[in-house]
Each structure stands twice: as structure tokens, then as C-alpha cells.
Amino acid sequence: YGHARRKGNPKLLFMGMRRSGKSSIQKVIFEKFSPAETLFLDPTTRIEPSTMESFIKFESAELPYNLPYTAPDFDRDAIFASTGAIIWVLDMQDEYYHSITKLIETAVFLLETYPHINFEVFIHKTDGLSEEYKYDTFRDVRQRVADELADHGHADRGIAFYQTSIFDHSVYEAMSKVIQKLLPQLPAMESLLNKLCSACRIQKAYLFDTISKIYLATDASPTFLKDYEVCSDYVDVIVDIKQIYGWQTRGQDGVLVTDSSRESGAPGESLITYDRSGNTYIYAREINDYLSLICIMGQGSTADKRVLIDYNVSILHEALTQVFKL
């Protein structure tokens, strides 16, 4: 992947059958709806782009699955030329045969006409299903898509699959991975996090977009949904503490401003706490108004390392400023 990393804001297009969950996913992630609030959403009939003002401006929109892109007067470039990723949402709780047919048709068209676009498939609404059913369905869908693509001569083209539900963290994790592929700064961020982890013996580090709780990068160690769940809850803790104690930042417009009071490691700007659920220590720090760093540390590494970590995080902060050329 990575061929679709382009300049500008990541632009995402959601496609899939009616009622598959396209609007719900966007409302929950970008507009902070609760999952229950999506129950009675009106069907989308027009292309309604929405943007989210955060560290990275995500643009997302929803397309009708029967978009007449083969019609001669259809302005394909207007829709696809600047798109980074198509997310095909497939309702796992519904009869999905027809959706797969449409998915293949669309994927083949895009692979041939707009090969820069990443094609991502959310096998959606996994909540309430048994592990066995989820596993079998996931395999079935993936296999059918792979077979059909091979029949069309696209055996070598990567399509990524994710199991998602708006009722748990899975949809955030999937969106994180989709968006990361569109960030030209990803390799730099990853290597900075790798360095931080080895310098401070951190198990897992996530750099979060604070508002959306999408993680922009993580270190190279294996990624588990459980770790993401624990860490994303601490993003909320950071936001709460900030509201209560008013951690001041001078960053504006997503700019990583070097704030001297933060560089000195003033108390209150980082937090180390013991997380019972994971039996681990958590280090949480707001990098600026838009970015948060959350790290999981093993049993051995305790709070006395805080000064060391704070110091290394200030180096990370400097480097991120360089990476984003701000």
C-alpha cells in the first residue's frame, strides 16, 4: 500500500448498499453521534461531503452504490481524481451476495481507471454475532472477492478487509489504518515512535488525533485491538483533565508550537497511571491541541521513569514539528 499517499487532505468515499451503515460510520467518527443515534438516520440521497476540523482535515462523503460512472456525461474526475480511499461497507448481518457483485464491479473499474485509490472493505455490523460466524463470513467474503478479482486479471492488487462495528472500537481502529495509508508523514512518525519505545522501554505507543480518536501512527510492535481500546480511553482522560485544570497551549490552526513551559516538563502535562484492566502502566501526554501520545508500559517500567519519558517525548515533539514543517 501507500501508493495513494498524496498531497492534501485525506479524502474518503464511502460506498455500499443502502442501509449498510455508511452514514452511521461517518456520524459516529466524525460527528460524535452515539451509536444508538444512528438507528433512525434518513437515507442519504445526495453526495454530502463533510469535513472534520482537526489536526488532519479528513474529508469524507458517501456515494450511491449504483453511481452511473460509465455514463458518457458523468464527470468521473470530479469525484475520483482527488480521492485517496474508497471504503466499501458490506453489511454482515444482511444477504451480501449482491453487495459483493457491486463491490467487484466498482473495484475493477477503479483499479483500471484510478489505480491510485486504495480500496478498503469494511465487513460491518459484527456486533452480536458469534466469533465463529464472524470468522467464517470474513473468510468467505475475502475469498470470493479474491477469486473474482483474479478472474478479472487483478490477482495481485491489494484490497484490505476489516471487521467493524459502530458499537465497539473496531470501526475506529479500521478507520485509523485507512487514514494512515494516506499520510505521507507516516514512515517518519513510525520511526519516531519506535525510537521512543526503545529509549524508554515502552511496550506500545499511539499518536492520536485527539478529537476523532483515530491514531495517526503507532510503533512497529504488534497491534492489538485491546491496546487500542485502553489507550483511546485515555485520550478522553486527557481531554477531561484539560477541561478541569486548563492545560494551556498556544498552538493554533493545528500548528505544533514549541511552548517553552511544556518543554521544561512542567507538572500536570503528562500523566502516568496504573491501568487495572490491562495490568499495565499508561503514560498519557497532550502533544498539542490536536495530538495526544498514549503509551503502554509493562510491569517493570514504573512512574520513576517519568522524567526520562518526558524528556524523550519533548524530543519527539521537536521532531514532529520538523516532520510537519511547521
Residues that bind ligand GDP (CB under 6 A): 16, 18-24, 38-39, 41, 43-44, 124-125, 127, 165-167
Nearer to ligand GDP by Cβ, of 11 and 125: the residue is 125
Q: Could you give the CA distance from residue 38 to residue 27 in angstroms, rounded to a whole number?
A: 8
Nearer to ligand GDP by Cβ, of 63 and 284: the residue is 63
Least Å from the CB of residue 117 to ligand GDP: 20
Strand locations in 229-290 (E) = 270-275, 280-286
Least Å from the CB of residue 18 to ligand GDP: 5
Least Å from the CB of residue 91 to ligand GDP: 7
Nearer to ligand GDP by Cβ, of 33 and 69: the residue is 33
Only one residue has cell 510537519, namely 324
- Minimal CA–CA distance to 12: which of 66, 77, 83? 83
Nearer to ligand GDP by Cβ, of 38 and 314: the residue is 38
Least Å from the CB of residue 131 to ligand GDP: 16
Nearer to ligand GDP by Cβ, of 94 and 263: the residue is 94
Strands ordered across the beta sheet of 58-62: 50-52, 58-62, 11-16, 85-91, 118-124, 160-164
CB atoms within 10 A of CB 188: 16
Q: Could you give the CA distance from residue 69 to residue 8 in angstroms, rounded to a whole number?
A: 24
Least Å from the CB of residue 169 to ligand GDP: 12
Whether the CB-CB separation of 169 and 31 falls below 8 Å is answered with: no
